[in-house]
Amino acid sequence: MSDKAQQLDLSIIIVHTFEKYLIRQTLDSIRRAAPKLGFEIIVVDNNPGAGFGEMARAEFPQVRHIPLERNVGFGSAMNRGIDVARGRYVLIFNPDIVIQPESLETMLEFMDANPEVGMCGPQLRNPDGSLQYSCYRSPTLMVPAYRRTFLGKFGVGKQAIEDYLMMDQSHDQQMEVDSLIGAALFTRKTALDEVGSFDERFFMYYEDNDLCRRFWEHGHKVVYYPNAHMIHYHRRASADGGLLQQMFNKFTWIQINSAIKFFYKYRSKESPRK
């Protein structure tokens, strides 16, 4: 990993909050993959009291650690990393993903060859190897409710979820999409500078839908790119438990709040994707 001041190929930015041991797995996977490109790793720490800083100094001294005084949310923390990134590309990355060998090189080559693409996302798989749906059509107002309740198991609700998750499409094929999950967004830095970073009004959830939409508004394509794939140890904290438990789950209310902000922000506006 280069320490030189010149621009690198890639800045990998991770926000840490509660995932001290999962992030070790993620950083180990990057080290094992040994990407053949110039890159840096920046970890913005929303929870420095959890001890990640000590672990990083002992086990991953090459990582740039940026501790924050308090939990400012995912998008705000990620923006701190983007502000200091030196890469031509920025990988917005979750602390619970295992990188597969050559996945970063594959995405870099794809982006270099397709300047009209502002962002791409790899195929994500669950730890058991099954597909994880990680690219989406634009959400409708009812999608969050369908995904949180029994209404999503039947009829109109089930169809709405399947449509949102693009389950009618082959996820082994490259395709332009409305949005990608924010767990692994390989973004062009020049496009990110033009579009702007994450909207910090979203503490958590919907900041990825919002960023992808703004990329499309500025003419930068968003592409699902399954030639690269990674393993995502994904857990939707806002969907834990039954309906009653969810109603007392703080992550559910954070998501509801973000959904309201998202749909209000884009009220009466047509999709920018042509």
129 inside domain: yes
Domain count, the chain: 1
Question: Six-digit token pair at 77?
Answer: 């923390």
Direct distance between the N- and C-terminal alpha carbons of the chain, in angstroms, rounded to an integer: 40
232 inside domain: yes
What does the pLDDT read at residue 271? 86
Spatial CB neighbours of 70, under 8 Å, sequence gap ≥ 6: 46
13 inside domain: yes
142 inside domain: no
Q: Residue 134's closest CA among 219, 74, 212?
A: 212
What does the pLDDT read at residue 239? 47
The 3-state DSSP class for residue 271 equals: coil
What does the pLDDT read at residue 243? 47
200 inside domain: yes
pLDDT for 215-255, tens place per residue?
999 999 999 999 999 999 976 444 444 544 555 567 677 88
What does the pLDDT read at residue 189? 97
What does the pLDDT read at residue 226? 98
Is residue 161 scored above 90 in pLDDT?
A: yes
Give burial (CB, 10 Å; 0-12/13-18/19+) of 151: middle
State the DSSP H helix or E strand holding residue 97, giving kind and residue range, or none if neither: strand 97-99
252 inside domain: no
| Full domain range(s) for residue 229 | 8-137+170-236
20 or 185, which is more confident: 185
214 inside domain: yes
Is residue 261 scored above 50 in pLDDT?
A: yes
Asked if 126 and 232 touch (Cβ cutoff 8 Å), the reply is: yes
- Mean of per-residue pLDDT scores for the chain: 90
CATH number of the domain that residue 129 is part of: 3.90.550.10
CA–CA dist 8, 106 (Å, integer): 16
Cross-strand partners of 176: 223
Is residue 105 scored above 90 in pLDDT?
A: yes
Is residue 194 scored above 80 in pLDDT?
A: yes
Taking residues 175-181, report their average pLDDT.
Answer: 97
Asked if 249 and 240 touch (Cβ cutoff 8 Å), the reply is: yes
Q: Residue 132's closest CA among 219, 226, 261, 250?
A: 226
What does the pLDDT read at residue 248? 52
* Angle at the Cα of 244 from the Cα atoms of 241 and 249, rounded to 5 degrees: 65
Is residue 22 scored above 50 in pLDDT?
A: yes
Longest CA–CA separation in the chain, Å: 57
Other Cβ atoms less than 10 A from the Cβ of 268: the count is 4
165 inside domain: no
Taking residues 110-127, report their average pLDDT.
Answer: 97
CA–CA dist 180, 254 (Å, integer): 20
Tokens 């009004």 correspond to what residue? 201
Rounded to two decimals, what is the model's pTM? 0.89
pLDDT for 35-76, tens place per residue?
999 999 999 999 988 889 999 999 999 999 999 999 999 999
CA–CA dist 48, 66 (Å, integer): 9
**Integer CA distances (angstroms), 212 to 59, 155, 177, 208, 243, in order:** 34, 29, 9, 6, 30
Q: How confident is the model at residue 81 (pLDDT cuts 50, 70, 90)?
A: very high
pLDDT for 140-155, tens place per residue?
888 877 877 787 888 9
